Structure formats: C-alpha cells, structure tokens
A and B are shown apart, each in its own frame.
Chain A
Amino acid sequence: MTEAFDILLQASFWAATLRIATPLIYGTLGELICERAGVLNLGIEGIMTLGAMVGWLAVYEGAPLWAGVALAASVGMLAGLVHGLLTVPLGLSQHVTGIGITLLSTSVASYTYRVLLPNVSTPPRIEPFPPLAEGWLASIPVIGPVLAQQTALTLAALALVPGLAWLLYRTPLGLAIRAVGENPAAVEAQGIDVYALRIGAVVFGSALMAVGGAFLTLSAFNAFFFGMVNGRGWICIALVVFASWRPGKALLGAILFGAFDAFQVRLQQVVGGAVPYQLFLMLPYLLSILALVLVSRRAAYPLALMRPYLKGQR
C-alpha cells in the first residue's frame, strides 16, 4: 500500500501522466469543438492514426519537426472537411460517416506507409521532439521537474486549453459555435451560415485530433506502428462527455486518465506476474466506460448534437 502511495510522489510519475494525457488533450479538445457545433466526429480514431503517420513520415523524409506537426494538422483538416461536407450540408448519419472516416483514414495511413516502405519489418526511427529540460520552466518549484521532462507539444496542449475556453466563452465566434450546437435555426436567423460554421468547427477540431496523433510519433515514441492509436480516439469521445463539453474539465479528465494509466503501469511492476498484464491494459477502456456511467445522469448534451440541419427543408 505504501508502495502504491509512493508512486504518487515521484516526479517521473507525474511526468508520465502528462505524457499520456497529451494526445488525449488534443483529441478531446478537437472532439469537443466538433460536438459543441453539433457534429459527432467518430472519425477521430482514424484521424489520429493518419496524423501519427503523416507527422512521422514528413520528419522521416527530412522535414523539420514542426513542419511534420503542421502537415499532420493539414491532413487532419482534409479528413475533417470530408466528414463535415458529408454530415453537414448533406445531412448524412454522423455515426456511420464517422466510422467511414475512421476506416478510410486508417487505411490511407497503412497503405501509404506500406507503399513507401514495402519491406521494413522494424519501424524506422526519427529524432523526436526533445524534452525541454533546461530553462526557466525547470526552475519552477514542484511542477518544474515535471514540465522539464515534457516536449513543446505537451506545453502547446496545455496552452490550448485556456485558448479554447477563451474562444468558446469570450468571442463572438465561440458564441456562434455554442449556439449552433444548441439550435442551428437561431444561428441562421441571425444571418450566420450554419454550414460554414459547422464545417469550420469540424475541420478545426480534426486538425487538433491529427496533432494529437502526431504527438505519438513525434514526441511520445519515435516511430510509427500499425494500431498505435489503440482506441485513444474512442477514449477521447468518452472524455468529452465526462468533461460536460468544457475545455477545463477536458483537461482535468485527460490528466486524471493519464494519472490512472501511469499509476497502473507502475502498479503492474509492483504487483509483478501475479495478475495477467492484460487486466491492467483493459483498465483504460473500462475506466472510460465507468466515466460515462458516472456522468450519465447529468450529461447535458448540446441540444442539436447529431441533428442535421438542412436549409430550406420543410
């Protein structure tokens, strides 16, 4: 028991927590923006995979790290645009279209990888984002040592949270996004183009998802593996509900989740072989379901979520 408690006091534990939480922060914020505008984006799992592959590939081909991130974001935007066009003006099922986007993005990622690297068995490595290590950040008491082990992408994720909160609650654009997720008719009656707004939100959100994926290959690991996203996208969808569609709570949810995951990895080492390791690996998924169950009673979905709005429809 004391061993379990000791884990919580290690800086390395909290560093791991943030590392695990980072892709979830990007993914959850991306999904949150889509859903706030009224569009469920089940393409997230595939878009993260595509972002992971594209970011890695760009750097592998010699691009700077940040160019890899930007390229991943652009490809994510493209996938988001397809999802947006199909679900918003055409009003197609957001569930099925999203699954389609995930299948498509995943297969594009695998296909491209295999076309360019037909015969490699061990994934080639790249030089990932370095930890911040030095500088004024490391000298901050308590959280300094934790932040010092992170990369710039994690810091950007942390900065994104207040940024998005500001956008949603303090700007006219954010007001329009919140309104279109509640009642698109109200937005159209005020002269704002519902389609442009919703598609824009989906495109932007998808870019964040792709950056979350790119974090995996450019920061957390240094190579691309098939199946490396491993359900993180779906976990983000659960986290959005858990966060009641609020950026601050999304951050909290992602960090809680990361802490739990980091904790179970360390606990696994403590417990050793007594319990099959798969049981520990199941925990993140079961925990996500539990999170959904816990908030289910008071989950206040955006009222127009998953309701297509067709102009001129009688």
Chain B
Amino acid sequence: MRLEVRAHPPRWLVVASPVAAILLAMALAAIPLALAGADVLAAYRQMAVASLGSPFALTETLTRATPLILTGLAAAVAFRARLWNIGAEGQLYLGAVVAVALGSGALSLAPPVLIPLALAASALAGALFMLGPTWLKLRLGVDEVVTTLLLNFVALLFVGMMLEGPMKDPMSLGWPQSAPMVDAATLPRLIGRTRLHAGFLVALSAAALIWLYMERTVWGFETRTVGSNARAAGFAGMPVARVFLRTGLISGALAGLAGAGEVMGLKGYLTQDLSPGFGYSGIVVAMLAQLDPLGVVLAAIFVAGVFVGADSMSRTVGVPSYIADLVVALSLLAMLLAGLVTRYRLRR
C-alpha cells in the first residue's frame, strides 16, 4: 500500500474534508468531555444551541467571528506564499493600540473621516510590525516563524507599557485599561441590542477583496507562484522578494484591522486581554478553509461558534470552557489529515 497523488481531487471531497475534520475533532474531544463527567451529547447540543440556536446566539457567533475572519485571512494570505506569519496576535494588538491612540479623543473628526482613518492606521501598524520579520527573512534568511512568534510577546508587553503609561485611563481604578473610544470612532451596531458591529462587514469585504486579489490579479498570481515554487518564480524573473514583502504587509495589515475592529466595534477600550488568542486561532481558521479566502469566512464562523458555544456550555454543563481550545486545536490537526485524503489516495 502506498500513497499516490490524485490527479483530480473530486470537488465533493474538497468540500467534505473540513467537515470530516471537524467531526473527527469533535469525536476526539468527546473523550476529555466524558472524562470530565459530562454528558457528551448534551454538551454538544448545548454548544450548538448557544452558538446558532437563536438569532441572538447567531449574532454573538458572528461578532466573535469578525476578528477571526481577519486573522484567518492574514494567515491564509501569508501561508499561500509560504510566508509563515505566526505573529497575527502581536499585529492585532499593534492595530488596536493605534486605533485607541487615534480614536480615544486625540482627534476630533466626524465619524466618516475618523473611522476609515483609524482603520487604515491600524492596518498600517499591523503591516509595519510584519515588515521587520519579512525583511529579516529576505535579507538574512532569519526564519520568520520564530521572529513573528517572539514579537507576539514583545507586542503584548508593549501594550502593557502603554496601558500603564501614556494610554492609561485616568478614570480606571488601578486596572490597566485605556481611555474609552469616542463615539465618532465607534463602529456602528448592525442590529440594535446585539453586539454585532460594522466590523463584520469590514471583515466580509476583506475576504471578498482578498479572494479577488489572489485568484484574479497579477499580484495574486505572483503570490501563488512564489508560494508553490519560489525558485521557479525567481528563474522566470518574478520579483520574489517584492512578492514576499507585499504579502507580509497585507497579512500584517489584516491582523491589524482585526485589533481595530475589536476596540472600535466591541470593547470600546483596550485591555491586555483584548484577544483570547485570535491570532493563533486564525491559523486554524486558515487551514480549515484550505487557505481559500471565502472559505475563511465559513471556517471563522465555525471556530467562533465553538468558542461562543463552549462559554455557555461550560456554565450549564460545568465543563471548563478550555474545551473550545481543545476542539479548535484538534480541528487543525484533523484538517491536516483531511488534506492528505484530498491530495492522495491509497493504492495497493
């Protein structure tokens, strides 16, 4: 028996593989659930109800999906070029810092000016934070995985420094948090009395634009080519370094936007626990989507649903909400296996 490359992966298999991966992950996660003494079926039912079972639950899931779509896109774009940006977490925080710097009273502008300005500035901040690792990779061959991972810690410390220093909210009682965003810098709610905000639309448009970019434009073609075989791209005369640089900037910008969306649309101020690992979950989202920008939206909604559902389930069933992280991590590994099934078939 051996693996053989499939000439044409059937379309149904490509669609079915993430579903199968998710099912496998949930089946595996049933073991720790049962070990914790929970009724597995009841727990999963509760998760489904709490994340998708009502209009309100759905808006909560979509709210949670918003940053995940953006960090998922950040990973998908970079991984397509085989640029391993694992630093979306840090880039997200940098974006959030800049959004707060501009939007918590420093500028008094009308919302139609201030909101785009703050979003653009945070995207820029995220992009610039990715510039260093990309540059080091290109000029010195320093592995970007390690640099982006390490910079996540630097970014978080930087946020702490800002929150205890220049950005500290004088009204807060000791707890490090920034001054609140002004109304003009707050993203409008999409549906009254829910938390779903315009950041979701920003994320959706980003997904559509990235799809267009990847599949239809010359720059996207360059990205796909460099990602599949950078040597052949270089031999043919493609500007490989420029492609990496561009990809790194776009990836960082998307992650930066994710941070801006959270402070401008959801939280209203910045704390050190703004992101419960959105940057890392974005990697899972991207892999579940098989790096397809439109698939990222669906994958992000799934991952968001797991987190939202697990929060509620942990309250009612009494299982730690860390089960969500477990399901998500297992989904990633299961998805890698599923990818194998679409790429290869077993032959005797």
Asked whether the complex places CB atoms of A and B closer than 8 A, the reply is yes
Name A residues whose Cβ lies closer than 8 Å to a Cβ of B. 42, 82, 86, 90, 92-93, 95-97, 99-101, 103-104, 106-108, 110-112, 114-115, 118, 230-231, 234-235, 237-238, 241, 276, 278-279, 281-282, 285-286, 288-289, 292-293, 296-297, 299, 310-313
Within 8 A of A (CB), among B156-195: 157-158, 160-161, 164-165
- In the complex, chain B residues whose CB is within 8 Å of the CB of A238: 146, 150
A80 and B270 CA atoms in complex are apart in Å by: 37
Interface size class of B (residues with CB under 8 A): 35 or more
- In the complex, chain A residues whose CB is within 8 Å of the CB of B322: 107, 110-111, 114
Contact B141 A296 (CB under 8 A): yes
Contact B150 A285 (CB under 8 A): yes
A106 and B325 CA atoms in complex are apart in Å by: 9
Interface-located stretch among B100-108, B112-120, B215-223, B330-338: B330-338
A108 and B326 CA atoms in complex are apart in Å by: 6
Chain A: which residue is nearest B3 at the CB level? A310
Chain B: which residue is nearest A275 at the CB level? B161
Contact B320 A234 (CB under 8 A): no
Contact B157 A235 (CB under 8 A): no
Contact A288 B150 (CB under 8 A): yes
Contact A278 B161 (CB under 8 A): yes
Name B residues whose Cβ lies closer than 8 Å to a Cβ of A. 2-3, 32, 35-36, 79, 84, 86, 136, 140-143, 145-147, 149-154, 157-158, 160-161, 164-165, 280, 283-284, 287, 318-320, 322-323, 325-326, 328-330, 332-333, 336-337, 339-340
A282 and B160 CA atoms in complex are apart in Å by: 11
Please provide the 4 A-B residue pairs with the shortest distance between their CB atoms, ordered closest to farther.
Answer: A114-B320, A107-B325, A103-B329, A296-B140
Contact B336 A115 (CB under 8 A): no
Expressed in whole angstroms, the minimum distance between the Cβ of B342 and any Cβ of chain A is 13
- In the complex, chain A residues whose CB is within 8 Å of the CB of B154: 282, 285-286
Contact B32 A95 (CB under 8 A): no
Expressed in whole angstroms, the minimum distance between the Cβ of B326 and any Cβ of chain A is 4
A292 and B136 CA atoms in complex are apart in Å by: 10
The B interface is mostly helix, strand or loop, or mixed, namely helix
Contact B153 A278 (CB under 8 A): no
Q: Which of A103, A231, A285, A312 contacts B332 (CB 8 A)?
A: A103
Q: Which of B32, B141, B149 contacts A231 (CB 8 A)?
A: B149
Interface Cβ pair total, 8 Å cutoff: 134
A231 and B146 CA atoms in complex are apart in Å by: 10
Max chain A CB contacts within 10 Å: which of B142, B319, B323?
B142
A118 and B329 CA atoms in complex are apart in Å by: 22
Expressed in whole angstroms, the minimum distance between the Cβ of B3 and any Cβ of chain A is 7
Contact B141 A299 (CB under 8 A): yes
Chain B: which residue is nearest A90 at the CB level? B340
A238 and B145 CA atoms in complex are apart in Å by: 10
Contact B320 A231 (CB under 8 A): no
Expressed in whole angstroms, the minimum distance between the Cβ of A93 and any Cβ of chain B is 7
- In the complex, chain A residues whose CB is within 8 Å of the CB of B35: 115
Contact A42 B333 (CB under 8 A): no
Expressed in whole angstroms, the minimum distance between the Cβ of B251 and any Cβ of chain A is 15
A296 and B137 CA atoms in complex are apart in Å by: 10
List 9 A–B pairs whose Cβ atoms lie within 8 Å, in order of A's numbering.
A86-B333, A92-B337, A103-B328, A234-B149, A276-B165, A282-B154, A293-B140, A296-B142, A311-B2
Contact A104 B333 (CB under 8 A): yes
Contact A104 B326 (CB under 8 A): yes
Contact A278 B157 (CB under 8 A): yes
Q: Known interface pairs A108-B326, A110-B322, A297-B140. Does A96 touch B150 (Cβ–Cβ under 8 Å)?
A: no
Contact B284 A103 (CB under 8 A): yes
Expressed in whole angstroms, the minimum distance between the Cβ of B87 and any Cβ of chain A is 11
Contact A292 B143 (CB under 8 A): yes
Contact A115 B332 (CB under 8 A): no
- In the complex, chain A residues whose CB is within 8 Å of the CB of B339: 92
Contact B283 A99 (CB under 8 A): yes
Q: Known interface pairs A111-B325, A276-B165. Does A104 touch B330 (Cβ–Cβ under 8 Å)?
A: yes
A234 and B149 CA atoms in complex are apart in Å by: 7
A104 and B336 CA atoms in complex are apart in Å by: 14
A101 and B141 CA atoms in complex are apart in Å by: 25
- In the complex, chain B residues whose CB is within 8 Å of the CB of A42: 145
Q: Which of A99, A281, A286 contacts B86 (CB 8 A)?
A: A99
A118 and B323 CA atoms in complex are apart in Å by: 13
Chain B: which residue is nearest A286 at the CB level? B154
Contact A110 B141 (CB under 8 A): no
